[in-house]
Structure 1
Amino acid sequence: MFFGLELAELQIYWWVVLSLLGALLIFMFFVQGGQTLIDTLSTNELEKTMLINSLGRKWELGFTTLVMFGGAAFAAFPLFYSTSFGGAYWAWLIILFCFILQAVSYEYRKKQGNLYGAKSYEFFLKINGYLATFLIGVAVSSFFSGSEFLLDEHNFVVWEHTFRGLELLLNPYNYLLGLALIFLSRILGAAYFMNNIKNESIKFKASKQIFINALLFLPFFLAFLVWIFLKDGFFVDENHFVCMSANLYFYTFLEQPLLLVLLLLGVLFVLLGIYLGAFVKTACAIWTLGLGTILCVFALLLNVGLGDSAFYPSTTHLQSSLTIKNASSSYYTLSVMAYASLLVPFVLAYITYVWRAMDREKITREEIANDDHAY
């Protein structure tokens, strides 16, 4: 089948693919972060329209990445997909509703005769920017904190809390990553504006926002790392028995140095990107920040999936916790889908080409003022 890989190797392969898609999704949240900065960075309606059009040319990429992540999860780890999306559906419905608000806002903000006015759609963009980002951060944090569910003998999920995923908000530790992700997205959004818009006023304000949000992001992110390093993890032994183990995620980084190197490189690139954006005020800061973000998230997701731990743990029924072994598709499905995954580099190459083509000319006042089809 797929280059002679065994089932266990295919499971690892697909978790790596899923982790990479998750890391790319977090990077794409520069759109969400940018949406929360529209009023802060603009001094008049023209500058606001410049900012919205800058994001409007990229917002589909984030939504597409989210769909790809969900599709890969459904194909490779269907039990995870059904447990999370089917059990915690109130949380995911709110997230999806936020993305619907985003799509509608870009489409109708400047439409003549719209019932709600431009201000309403700008408010919808802020809802997407803050709420969707925060909830996805909380959802990712649950990979380490756990959820309340039971899998019966037929692998049907029984979610044991009436809040259906929103109970994750009752755990204050989940807020650490949720808030860190909000401030990181604002850093990325400000850096993206510096790269994409030719306007000195916006550039100066954006660099200032990078510094301010970095001061807020770093304490929450470092607190999240300290929490997962010190907390008990959901250990899975060779007999697939799940039990609690002290400092499991910290020891996984030590036992798999490549993951630790990826995390440290990611942190260094994020710090370098903050310096380049806030102090040097260079347009390339977005790429340094983006690379650092992808490496950090990639390392964290690999840790929880490839270590001796459950990547989607149950706090109420430990033996219902999901690992890449008990949550994956069959060998045949993983093999066939692995061949399809070989097309991903070509898709990424196409996205890169289109991105460069759209950004060849920076957004200017003159372009937006004379554009009859602006968002």
Structure 2
Amino acid sequence: MTELLAFLMSYETLRFIWWLFLGVLLIGFAIMDGFDLGVGALLPWVARTDDERRVLINAIGPTWEGNQVWFILGGGAIFAAYPLIYSAAFSGFFVALILVLFALILRPVGFDYRSKLPHPQWRSMWDWGLFIGGFVPALVFGVAFGNLLQGVPFYFDDSLRVHYEGGLPGLLNPFGLLAGVVSLSMLVMQGAAFLLLKTVGHLRERAHRALGVAALVFALSFAGAGLWVGFGIDGYVLTAFAGTEAASNPVAKEVVRQTGAWFANFKATPVLWLVPLLAFTGAFGAWWLAARRPGVGFIASSVAVACTILTAGIAMFPFMMPSSLEPAHSLTVWDATSSLLTLRWMFWMTVLFLPLILFYTSWVFSVLRGPVTLEQVSDSHEHY
């Protein structure tokens, strides 16, 4: 037992564990808050009347704030466990993140103010605000991941201060936009799969059609992005570094760029190819099963979401934020973390509180299970 604890508390193991923790938080955000964003993006298209739009809003209204916890936890984990990545990312992606923030601000005010007045123009304005609050973050998050795979234009000076040379136009490159389409279609698919659980009648039929379109776009764009990564983008290879137990120093290593390097981990461990395969299978399963067994369809969609994020993480490991200006300054799992003591304290806090969050979330969705109907929202003034 002592040896196992010593192994778990070693710097190398904790660095890897925190890479896993961050992946879990990103997946949790994409699955839970992802269907909120997807429903927002679908709002003007699936719902055609005011009461139908109220059904969609009330389908996610009681839980969207709780789902935001995953977003906050992800940002907090990066800030505490990966301060170098936090500083570099928030410098490089500042404009994009501000755009996401402004879009997300439209969600709470949209939920709270939409039904305050019965005027059609007033409600239509907030409906489009909720659409923007779902569409923009879903797209921008994918664009950010696309730029990570290409490398971000930053470097460290002699004082280890990060410098970023780029801007929003540079982020909106062809591959970045393709990655944005992957993310957007993936979250729209997740939102449509959730609506099949929460709606009935014509709304459910339209949600299923939207699910089919989103799943097809996701599969095609995900396959296209994979081919582009394999044959059109130079990946990063770590050739020498200070070691997995050494103090974090992002410039104490050697890195080269090679075409197809992002596939190296899959080639070294062929069983990992099952992860992207499950992403395609989950998308197809979501469309095939959702109309018959919506609960299983939602699980299949969630598997697709999780495996898409896992595919990107496995491809880049151990890199987390590659640098296109100075490849040797790229941030990796082994040289971008906080101190050993910080990782240990955060490990035990996560072990304590993450199960509580999972338990509470499961309880909330169990209590709120079942569809939202037109009769419920039209007969009640307590709904949004």
1:300 to 312, 315, 333: 312
Q: Say whether 1:158 aligns with 2:163.
A: yes
Q: Say whether 1:348 aligns with 2:353.
A: no
TM-score (norm 2): 0.89
Q: Where in structure 2 are the equivalents of 1:5-84 lying within 5 Å?
A: 5-27=9-31, 28-84=33-89
Structure 2 match to 1:212 = 213
Does the CA-based 8 Å contact 2:219-2:280 persist in structure 1?
no
How many residues of Structure 1 are paired with residues of Structure 2 in the alignment?
366
CA distance in 2, matches of 1:159, 1:296: 28
Q: Say whether 1:168 aligns with 2:178.
A: no
Structure 2 match to 1:227 = 228
Secondary structure at the residue paired with 1:261?
A: helix
Deviations 1:43-76 (A, max 9, x none): 3211111111112223224422111110011111
CA distance in 2, matches of 1:208, 1:112: 32
Structure 1 match to 2:299 = 287
TM-score (norm 1): 0.91
Q: How far did 1:282 drift?
A: 3.7
CA distance in 2, matches of 1:367, 1:79: 49
CA distance in 1, matches of 2:378, 2:80: 46
Deviations 1:279-311 (A, max 9, x none): x474531121112211231232233133xxx22
Q: How far did 1:363 drift?
A: 1.1
CA distance in 2, matches of 1:258, 1:340: 32
CA distance in 1, matches of 2:329, 2:265: 22
Does the CA-based 8 Å contact 1:142-1:312 persist in structure 2?
no
Does the CA-based 8 Å contact 1:16-1:302 persist in structure 2?
no
Q: Where in structure 2 are the equivalents of 1:112-123 lying within 5 Å?
A: 112=117, 117-123=122-128
CA distance in 2, matches of 1:269, 1:175: 23
Q: Give identity over the alignment, percent.
A: 25
Deviates more, 1:345-354 or 1:56-65: 56-65
Change (3 A) 1:334 1:166: farther
Structure 1 match to 2:347 = 338
Change (3 A) 1:257 1:350: farther
CA distance in 1, matches of 2:336, 2:271: 25
1:326 to 323, 335, 354: 335
CA distance in 2, matches of 1:104, 1:117: 13
Deviations 1:109-146 (A, max 9, x none): 112499x8221111111112221111110111222111
Q: How far did 1:214 drift?
A: 2.4
Structure 2 match to 1:129 = 134
Unaligned runs of 5+ in 2: 242-252
Superposition RMSD on alpha carbons, in Å? 2.1
CA distance in 2, matches of 1:112, 1:95: 27
CA distance in 2, matches of 1:172, 1:283: 36
Task: Tell me the amino acid that sits aligned with residue 155 of structure 1.
Answer: L
2:147 to 142, 159, 163: 142
Unaligned runs of 5+ in 1: none
Does the CA-based 8 Å contact 1:15-1:305 persist in structure 2?
no
Secondary structure at the residue paired with 1:237?
A: strand
Secondary structure at the residue paired with 1:83?
A: helix
Secondary structure at the residue paired with 2:149?
A: helix
Q: Say whether 1:274 aligns with 2:279.
A: no
CA distance in 1, matches of 2:51, 2:215: 28
